[in-house]
Every structure is written in structure tokens, then in C-alpha cells.
């Protein structure tokens, strides 16, 4: 990796208002705490434009704040675009459905950079890190505090493993 390129991670969900911004905030915090924020950018997007322009869901904001995470002053939900695809090194879809949609958007040479977010969780014993519905991050959209807390628990649990994996690639 060249000195002028920051390693870029894109978290991806449906509308970019719940899971992907939650994962973006958690990962950005973890990379900062690991001293890697100068080398890594964490972004988020959706595979749909149905929530275009919306802020982070207030329920997601609540669980993030409850866990001590800082909320960015501005979030603009959007569908992943060509520029983001071109500059992303690691795509982290939240579910197998997101992964399938994302893979349809990517050129064949970029498809190897896609890993489901929870595929990094060693507790799941995922032999195949490809498309696997068992690795889906819970969808909190139709739920309440319990579902949003479950989602943030899943995101938090996996984040250190993603940081370690990226650190290994940066050190290589």
C-alpha cells in the first residue's frame, strides 16, 4: 500500500441508517483507539437508496450514545456509489442479502474484497467466509431497544477482530 493511500473500509447495510453507520462509528472508534486512525478510513453506505438523505436512526443513536460512542454531527444516508467502490479496500456487508446485492454492483476484480462483517468472529467458527445467512447481523429496524442492543452487541464483539485483521495487512 502506498504512503498516500489510506486503507478504506466500507460497512454496508440496506438503507445506511442503522447497522452500517453503527458499525462505521464502532470501527472508527476502535481504529482510533488502536492508533490506526491515520492509516484507516471507515465509511458506510447502503445497497438501496430508499433512505437517501436521512440521518442515523434515532434508536441507533441512542444505543451508540449509551455505549459511549460519539455520534458524527452529520450523516447522509446513501447508496454506495462508483467512487466509493473504487477507493474501498474492504467491504463489510451486514447480511448475506447485502453481500449478494453488493457483489452485483462490483467489478469481478473487486469481489475478493468483500467479507461479511460477522465472518471475522472466531466464535462463529465460519469455515467459509463467503455468503452465509448464519453470519447475518440482526436487523433492528422493525424492533425496539432489545434489537438495537443485540445489533450493537454483535458489532462490538467483532470489531476487535476486524481491527487486528486490518492491522496485519497494514504491517505486511
**112 in helix, strand or coil?**
helix
Cα of first residue to Cα of last residue in the chain, in angstroms, is: 9
Cell numbers for 131, please give them. Answer: 455468503
87 is catalytic: no
What stretches of 17-81 show up as alpha helix (H) in DSSP?
19-33, 58-66
b/e string for 81-95 if b means 16 or more Cβ within 10 A? Answer: eeebbeebbbbbbbb
Catalytic residue among 19, 30, 59, 118: 19
Q: Alpha-carbon dihedral of residues 58, 137, 14, 63, nearest 10 degrees?
A: 10
128 is catalytic: no
Strands (E), 26-156: 40-46, 90-93
Catalytic residue among 13, 41, 79, 136: 13
19 is catalytic: yes
Q: How many angstroms separate the CA atoms of 69 and 129, rounded?
A: 28
Q: How many angstroms separate the CA atoms of 12 and 21, rounded?
A: 8
Catalytic residue among 37, 49, 110, 139: 139
Which residues are catalytically annotated? 13, 19, 139
Amino acid at each position: 500500500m502506498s504512503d498516500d493511500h489510506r486503507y478504506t473500509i466500507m460497512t454496508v447495510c440496506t438503507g445506511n441508517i442503522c447497522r452500517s453507520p453503527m458499525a462505521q462509528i464502532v470501527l472508527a472508534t476502535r481504529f482510533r483507539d488502536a492508533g490506526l486512525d491515520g492509516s484507516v478510513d471507515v465509511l458506510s453506505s447502503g445497497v438501496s437508496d430508499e433512505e437517501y438523505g436521512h440521518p442515523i436512526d434515532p434508536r441507533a443513536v441512542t444505543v451508540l450514545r449509551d455505549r459511549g460512542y460519539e455520534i458524527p454531527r452529520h450523516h447522509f444516508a446513501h447508496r454506495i456509489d462508483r467512487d466509493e467502490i473504487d477507493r474501498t479496500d474492504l467491504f463489510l456487508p451486514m447480511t448475506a442479502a447485502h453481500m449478494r446485492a453488493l457483489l452485483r454492483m462490483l467489478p469481478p476484480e473487486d469481489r475478493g474484497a468483500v467479507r461479511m462483517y460477522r465472518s471475522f468472529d472466531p466464535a462463529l467458527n465460519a469455515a467459509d467466509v463467503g455468503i452465509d445467512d448464519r453470519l447475518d447481523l440482526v436487523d433492528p429496524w422493525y424492533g425496539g431497544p432489545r434489537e438495537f442492543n443485540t445489533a450493537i452487541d454483535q458489532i462490538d464483539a467483532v470489531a476487535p477482530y476486524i481491527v487486528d485483521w486490518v492491522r496485519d495487512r497494514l504491517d505486511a
